[in-house]
Structure 1
Amino acid sequence: MQPQPLFFRKRRSARTPGGPCADEVAGARPADGRPAEPRAGRGRRGTTVAALLLPPDRTPDGVSGPPTNGAGSGTGTATGAGPPPPRCRGRACEGRDPMNMLCGIGLDTLVERRTASGAGLQVRYSPVCGTSWGRVRDTRVGDRIELTAAGPTRSAEITDALDATAYVYTPMTRTAPGTLVRACFRPAGQTRREECFEATVR
């Protein structure tokens, strides 16, 4: 079975489309004001390109798809090479887009929580790239996620109704086993308090 394509339109801020197999994409300026380089977000072109680079049994979110014999029958074993190597590691990934850098495969989920406002928050870790990033969905316009580890705080904000129905995620920050990662969800408005969660990279 061929990977299902993801259809994207170009966006300007740090976001990714909703759904279980979409995580990190190129296309948007990080909300923390870093220079415009390959960026994290809901940008859609990057996920499509990354999906095309993967073998038939892999998806951009690190979830194995159904086995295939390469002939479209959906049976047998996968053929061809494994997933391509990441385009950065460690310090070189700081502030960059995890999908565009091919870091969105073989992930660990360090934190998975439902906030008081109903948003779903996750903190992801790529052992291959040596980085972490946060993502949220089921949000409201004005909600914000911030991720802090050993380096600068990385953040992303929900800016429109499309964001509110998508996974919105931060740029990457460098982490390694033993690094304490802290993710804070800052809901829009003044009626709810921020919620923070911590985890140590395993």
Structure 2
Amino acid sequence: MASELLALKKASGLSFAQLSQKTHYAKSSWERWVNGKQFPPRHAVESLAGLCGTPSTQLLELWDRAQADREAGAGPGAEAEGASDSRGGPDDRAEPDAAGEPEADGTPPRRRRSRFLRTAAVLGPVLVVGGALAAYVTLGRGDDSSSPPPSASVKVAGPQTGCKGAACEGRDPKKMNCGADAVTVRTGSIPKDLVIELRYSRACQAAWGRISFAEIGATVVVNNSDGAAQADVVHYDRDVYSPLIAAPDDGSVWVCAALPKDKARSCTGRFIPSQED
């Protein structure tokens, strides 16, 4: 992830100070993210892609994979849906991109991911056509020893979760496995560093709030249009996420955050699942 950010920054010709001026993130934050000292928020990656005129879809997919890798190695207190937070403290640094290990059939390691963004437009159609041909050959053999059709047990629904809707109120998104399909649907900030995220799980029909790059005593509160609210406070480190709150299809949810001893709150926009799912 850090390698990609560095490549984009160099391509843009922008300094850290200029990146700060063009986004709501501080110069010091950009320096940490680009140099691999800290894992960047998803919204920051998307902002940098926009500044460089680069399609963000594939870069965000890379962020999601890196986030999944971080979650897989997180401690018992870390949030399963993927963020550094104060509940167990996985290493907050981004891991520099490197070549992968050789495959089992002896093929050479993968190229560095920094080449991926430059060649995706060319390779994409080739991979699609190749996949189609492989499927045609496999399905068209017609020999008597062909494998049976795929089992009906292949997952087509969402992940298995520990709660749904109102039953999720006040519960931990990690323990309920709501992070398995979670996405950040709204973002906000308290200049210059604190990042606010509204996380939503369709499988759980629930949402929660998360703040990053905060300070001890900062609060996060997730609300819904039924009048319910769940909150948490940064007790140590710089990140925290709230308990779950129900997110009905026709209702709305949003997240607010505040700095210590500051009555003013900053909030994300409202998210209505039925209008955007």
TM-score of the superposed pair, with normalisation by structure 2: 0.45
Alignment of 1:18-29 (within 5 A): 22-23=82-83
Query: Any unmatched runs of 5+ in structure 1?
Result: 11-15, 25-40, 48-65, 76-80
- 1:107 and 1:125 in contact (8 A); partners too: yes
User: Is 1:114 paired with 2:189?
Assistant: yes
Partner of 1:135: 210
- 2:183 and 2:200 in contact (8 A); partners too: yes
Partner of 1:180: 252
Alpha carbons of structure 1 residues 70 and 198: separation in structure 2 relative to 1, 3 Å:
farther
User: Is 1:147 paired with 2:222?
Assistant: yes
Distance apart, 1:105 and its partner CA: 1.8
Q: How many angstroms apart in 2 are the aligned matches of 1:93 and 1:182? A: 16
CA RMSD, Structure 1 to Structure 2 (Å): 3.9
- 1:180 and 1:198 in contact (8 A); partners too: no
The one-letter code of the counterpart of 2:170 is: G
Alpha carbons of structure 1 residues 155 and 70: separation in structure 2 relative to 1, 3 Å:
farther
- 1:154 and 1:172 in contact (8 A); partners too: yes
Partner of 1:156: 232
**CA distances 1:110-162 after superposition (whole Å, capped 9, x unpaired):** 211222242011001111100010000000111111111025210011122x2
Alpha carbons of structure 1 residues 124 and 9: separation in structure 2 relative to 1, 3 Å:
closer
The one-letter code of the counterpart of 1:124 is: R
| Paired residue secondary structure (1:198) | coil
Higher fraction of helix:
2
Alpha carbons of structure 1 residues 87 and 184: separation in structure 2 relative to 1, 3 Å:
same
Higher fraction of strand:
1
Alpha carbons of structure 1 residues 115 and 95: separation in structure 2 relative to 1, 3 Å:
same
| Rg larger for | 2
User: Is 1:199 paired with 2:270?
Assistant: yes
Alpha carbons of structure 1 residues 147 and 195: separation in structure 2 relative to 1, 3 Å:
same
* Number of residue equivalences: 149
Alpha carbons of structure 1 residues 21 and 180: separation in structure 2 relative to 1, 3 Å:
closer
What percent identity do the matched residue pairs reach?
20
Q: How many angstroms apart in 2 are the aligned matches of 1:70 and 1:152? A: 52
Partner of 1:97: 172
Alpha carbons of structure 1 residues 3 and 119: separation in structure 2 relative to 1, 3 Å:
closer
Query: Any unmatched runs of 5+ in structure 2?
Result: 1-67, 91-99, 111-153
Q: How many angstroms apart in 2 are the aligned matches of 1:44 and 1:141? A: 15
- 2:187 and 2:268 in contact (8 A); partners too: no
